[in-house]
Structure 1
Amino acid sequence: MPNYSEKTDKELIVLLKDNNHNAFKEIYNRYNGLLFAYAYKRLQVEEEAKDVIQEVFIGLWENRANFILKTYLSGFLYKSVLNKILNIWKHKRVIRHHVLSLSLEVDVDSEETDFLIREKDIAALVEKEIAAMPPRMREVYELKYRQYMSVKQIANDLNISENTVATQLQRASAHLKNKLGVVVFAIYMLQR
């Protein structure tokens, strides 16, 4: 029996499209904890975060036959979770609006909107700086932080030494700290 934990995300997607339950299980095991932490950090309600993650994975399974991975699986999953969270916030805002329209006193704050604007701005700034990296550095960085590959896996995939991978990752971090500033870089690292 193949070891699915050693397969890349792209290999798992190919297997998933062929109705492979073990590939789906590996994707779930690989990303469930990370996605839950991401959702819970934003929603602050455990049950809502669990529901969001469940909906994302159900959607992935139900649409597996037509699923086309255009970028990275991790990016797709995080974006799916964020979209579900935005829908929850939108729904809550609609409820608040109706409550306000009934002249009930409700303390409506714009904290969520401010957070989304700041998060979007930081993400756009980070993406711009990642795109400006030299090609090999960018490739190593994306494999590490978007594909969640280990240094050893990256070295094997790119046919370079582990020291070279480590050096590229250090340079990428230094590049981002230099371009973004230490505070923005720290916020970005906390959000990952």
Structure 2
Amino acid sequence: MLDYSKHIDSDLARLFRSGDDLAFKEIYIRYDKLLFLYAFNKLHNEEEAKDAVQDVFLWLLKNRHSFILKTTLSGYLYKSTLNKIFDIFRHKDIVKKYIDAGDYYIDVDSEETDYLIREKDIALRIEQEISSMPPRMKKIYELKRKHFLSTKEIAMQLNISENTVSNQLKKASKNLKNKLGVVIYVLYILNS
């Protein structure tokens, strides 16, 4: 009998796709707890985190034969879990505000619909976190990220030391990473 715990992820994915249930069991054992912790860190709700992870594994089982891995197995599973987390946020009416306001048009048959909704989810979540920062930290962060001022320019404008500006920016970034997760924060920084 094969010892599945010694297989690398790509082998497990290949075996699973070919119908090997023991390979799926090993994937589940290997990633279930890690994905749960990842989801719980974002959702702060144990039941929702469990549901998100179970949905990922259920989808995997249902789509076994069409499952094509274009990245690492862990990357695929984490991204799938993140997508489920976004679905949960959407069900909590995060996007409803944008739809009600008519800020953008959604074509239900469009392949870009899902991407647009997720992008709006992320943007709203980031804005909420920035709004909840202490006033001085928020001002410094917005001057840096939205007005593209240097640390020196911010210090001069607010009549504070560059060191204070740097410390406030570090604290703001750390808080956003903790609350949003590193992946979302990095995507935000790259797109801003």
TM-score (norm 2): 0.53
Indicate which of 104, 124, 129 corresponds to 1:111.
129
CA contact (8 A) 2:18 2:65 kept: yes
Match of 1:47 in 2: 47
- Larger CA Rg, structure 1 vs 2: 2
Give how far 1:117 is off: 8.9
Match of 1:72 in 2: 72
Whole-Å separation in 2 of the counterparts to 1:40 and 1:122: 20
Please provide the CA RMSD for this pair. Answer: 3.3
CA contact (8 A) 2:42 2:180 kept: no
Q: How does 1:33-44 map to 2 (within 5 A)?
A: 33-44=33-44
| Deviation >6 Å, runs of 4+ | none
Residues 109-146 of structure 1: CA deviation (Å, up to 9, x unaligned):
823996549742426879xxxxxxxxxxxxxxxxxxxx
Q: Where does the alignment leave 5 or more consecutive residues of structure 2 unmatched?
A: 102-124, 132-175
Match of 2:56 in 1: 56
Counting aligned pairs with the same residue, the percent is: 45
| AA of the residue aligned to 1:122 | V
Structure 1 pair 5/112, CA: closer, same or farther in 2 (3 Å)?
farther
Whole-Å separation in 1 of the counterparts to 2:181 and 2:49: 21
Whole-Å separation in 1 of the counterparts to 2:13 and 2:45: 30
Structure 1 pair 120/9, CA: closer, same or farther in 2 (3 Å)?
same
Whole-Å separation in 2 of the counterparts to 1:64 and 1:112: 41
Q: 1:120 and 2:177 equivalent?
A: no
Structure 1 pair 18/119, CA: closer, same or farther in 2 (3 Å)?
closer
Whole-Å separation in 2 of the counterparts to 1:9 and 1:55: 20
Q: Where does the alignment leave 5 or more consecutive residues of structure 1 unmatched?
A: 102-107, 127-192
Structure 1 pair 70/59, CA: closer, same or farther in 2 (3 Å)?
same
3-state DSSP class of the match of 2:93?
A: helix
TM-score (norm 1): 0.53
CA contact (8 A) 2:4 2:26 kept: yes
Structure 1 pair 13/78, CA: closer, same or farther in 2 (3 Å)?
same
Q: How does 1:18-33 map to 2 (within 5 A)?
A: 18-33=18-33
Give how far 1:41 is off: 0.7
Whole-Å separation in 1 of the counterparts to 2:25 and 2:46: 22
| AA of the residue aligned to 2:129 | E
Give how far 1:45 is off: 0.7
Residues 45-72 of structure 1: CA deviation (Å, up to 9, x unaligned):
1111000010000111111101111110
